[in-house]
Amino acid sequence: MRIVPISDLDADGLSDYARLTDVALRRVSEPEGGLYIAESHKVIARAIAAGHEPRSILLQERWLADVEPLLDRFPDVPVYVGNSDVLEKLTGYHMHRGALAALHRPALPDMATLLADASRVVILEDIVDHTNVGAIFRSVAGLGADAVLITPRCADPLYRRSVRVSMGTVLQVPWTRMPEWPDARRILDEAGFHVAALALDDRAIGLDEFAANPPERIAITLGAEGDGLSSQALDAADTTVMIPMLHGVDSLNVASASAVALWALRRS
Ligand SMILES: C[S@@+](CC[C@H](N)C(=O)[O-])C[C@H]1O[C@@H](n2cnc3c(N)ncnc32)[C@H](O)[C@@H]1O
């Protein structure tokens, strides 16, 4: 392990941690494809297990033993070590989760490849809230769906808040950005998917009814908190499905809706 005690906060390799906005990290031109930040030993372990490559690690000395086994394959990756005051000065916040890693963003898979062996996928249409994106990934992983597709305007699953809320499952569940609806629908058709739009629509069928005889391969489409699904997403669906609501409540939070639907439509 290449341990580098922090002596100068302006040192080159530390700038990934000093310019900690996700937008800045995503856009850095070197390395190609940008970076993302993983927080905590557990999430870093999940990222490395998923084949992601760390560019550096930042931590207090007492966390070194936890991180050491993760870096067997990366003996040259610098591990910056400082006390809690130094780390707080650098990152701008108290690092109570132990370690941070700057990792290279992985190349996203092609949508058709992602669908090839899948039978349950979730499509996130323009969900801009990173907390909801992370919570949906957690449901997808925990309830056994195979992959997530996100529309071009959907929030980035690798932003820190999404990674954190997902408990690192955004690093484990296969996902990619899909093209706009007409092209995406054609690729879903070619892969034999039935598209089920989850929407609040009086003409929708109930989730129980849909789940009683589910198609072999299902893509569940979910919309944003404010607007719900677009008319293009509704037009692209084979079936519109609704979770019946009681007590005058008009809808569920989108992440809760994803969990209910994924449970009802789980493979037997
Ligand atoms: C908060 S809802 C959006 C509410 C929005 N005002 C609307 O009319 O669609 C966010 C997303 O969660 C899903 N959703 C929430 N509650 C649902 C329900 N009862 N039945 C089906 N889908 C639901 C839908 O995909 C919806 O687009």
* Phi, psi angles (nearest 5°) of residue 178: -95, 160
What pTM, to 2 d.p., does this model score? 0.92
Neighbours of 114 (CB within 10 A): 21
17 — pLDDT class (breaks 50, 70, 90):
confident
Whether residue 241 contacts residue 203, with contact meaning beta carbons closer than 8 Å, is answered with no
Whole-number Å distance, alpha carbon 225 to ligand 1 midpoint, is: 7
SS3 131: helix
The full set of domain ranges for the chain reads 2-104, 111-264
The C-alpha atoms of residue 96 and residue 75 are separated, in whole angstroms, by 26
Q: Which residues pair with 58 in a beta bridge?
A: 80, 100
| Beta strands in 156-216, from DSSP E residues, in sequence order | 175-177, 194-198, 205-206
Phi, psi of 21 (to 5 degrees): -75, 145
Q: So what's the pLDDT on residue 135?
A: 98
Q: Is the pLDDT of residue 146 over 70?
A: yes
The answer to whether residue 243 scores a pLDDT higher than 80 is yes
Mutational pocket test of ligand 1: of 132, 139, 198, the residue with most ligand atoms within 8 Å of the beta carbon: 198
CA of 190 to the centre of ligand 1 (A): 27
Domain at 111-264, CATH class: alpha beta
Overall fold of domain 2-104: 60s Ribosomal Protein L30; Chain: A; (3.30.1330)
pLDDT per residue as tens digits for the range 185-201: 999 999 999 999 999 99
